[in-house]
Homo-oligomer: A and B are copies of this chain.
């Protein structure tokens, strides 16, 4: 941690970490090569130039992780990565978090700066008041002669108060929305990222297997959740599990008509259909999967849904390959569903990869007719065929990778209704 400004820093950071040198189990090897991190930053700066940005303010924890490797449950307080068009990028964290950031980030010490504890959760202060002044002291507030400064205007942990702090403290800057700039760079994965998703898929398979084993009449939902959560962390013995950005969802019975209710102690009974939506995670990379389990034979309506959705999903997978416009996937799905007299008003899927609560989606590409993206190799999506009908619901999903000639799925779980 850098204590460049003694008058502003509170407490005296101690740079001596006795037992934490390289080779210590408490300092993690960077997940990706130096070249890969450099390439990511290069692609971000290319996009910045293209969007006329002289600097970028990054706050989304998934984007911080992507660019710096920094990984901790500290995003409930403000954090910021400052990315100038050239020169050092600077990571601003709460002081107690900045101390240990070197354990997960590749950034050298002088690029990690802790803001004082007294700015945390105070009514008329915001950490970005301090950060803005710190940037000014470092000569980073050149009037934006060469462009605007980009902000992640719709990131989950960038509040209006943090935004106003920057507006007030740095009147020289012309602030504009960067429109999920880093998220868009993330949409095409490197081979190393695909590797981590393959490891995650083994955790997914372990967790879905645990779910299906646990679902029985007489068992409360929270016990099923317990088995899933254990498998999500344990993994399959070799592939270990990281925490998921979304807890396991178990819409059951009539409440399966809405997708996002979390578990309770509601007891499963014969005749119930239980939707399971979960993700295996490895080093923040997610591979989500959904299946539907019925206790007893499925209703006729459910049987028809199964057939229609299987047909629709097959049509989408057949249509998928690099070079294909996203809207053609939406169209393949909608046509097939229409032939069964069905429609799905919500999107069919979204770009997926690194995730922190509350979402494993990347907030960029959605598979729907309004989306204008063209598929590229190594884009990854969660195709979620969720049909939330009146009084019941059915889901089946796949996480896919777009290849040059088609598509691969990360898991190979049977797609049928699981009849128990």
Contacts and interface: CB of A to CB of B under 8 A. Distances in A.
Interface of A: 10-11, 14, 16-20, 24-28, 71-76, 95-97, 99-101, 103-104, 117-118, 120-123, 126, 151, 153-164, 177, 179-180, 220, 222-223, 225-227, 229-235, 240-243, 246-247, 249, 252-255, 257-267, 269, 345-347, 350, 356-359, 361, 363-364, 366, 370, 388, 390-391
Contact of A391 (B11, B17, B364): B17
A180 B226 CA distance: 34
Binding site of A, secondary structure by majority: helix, strand, loop or mixed?
loop
A253 B250 CA distance: 37
B247 A390 contact: no
Contact of A19 (B179, B180, B391): B391
B233 A232 contact: no
B240 A233 contact: no
A252 B26 contact: yes
Contact of A96 (B27, B120, B164, B346): B346
B235 A222 contact: yes
B254 A26 contact: yes
A260 B345 contact: no
A14 B73 contact: no
Contacts of A358: 73, 75-76, 157, 356-358
Contact of A156 (B20, B159, B223, B262): B159
Given A156-B157, A233-B229, A258-B100, A220 B249 contact: no
Contacts of A71: 261-262
Nearest to A253: B26
A266 B234 contact: no
B156 A156 contact: yes
29 contacts: A14-B390, A16-B391, A19-B253, A19-B254, A24-B254, A25-B267, A25-B269, A26-B266, A28-B264, A75-B358, A76-B246, A95-B345, A96-B259, A97-B260, A99-B257, A117-B346, A151-B160, A153-B160, A154-B160, A154-B162, A159-B160, A222-B242, A223-B234, A226-B231, A226-B241, A240-B264, A243-B247, A357-B358, A358-B358
Contacts of A234: 222-223, 226
A283 to B, nearest CB: 8
A16 B231 contact: no
A46 to B, nearest CB: 19
A242 to B, nearest CB: 7
Contact of A120 (B164, B347, B364): B347
A262 B73 contact: yes
Given A76-B358, A99-B258, A160-B151, A18 B391 contact: yes
Nearest to A203: B222
A226 B120 CA distance: 31
Nearest to A155: B159
Contacts of A229: 226, 229-230, 232-233
A158 B262 CA distance: 22
A257 B15 CA distance: 12
A262 B233 contact: no
Contacts of A240: 220, 222, 264-265
A76 B222 contact: no
A159 B359 CA distance: 15
A156 B76 contact: yes
Contacts of A345: 10-11, 95-96, 117
Nearest to A77: B359
Contact of A154 (B20, B159, B177, B346): B159
A286 B345 CA distance: 36
A74 to B, nearest CB: 4
A203 to B, nearest CB: 10
A161 B156 contact: no
Contact of A100 (B120, B163, B261, B347): B261
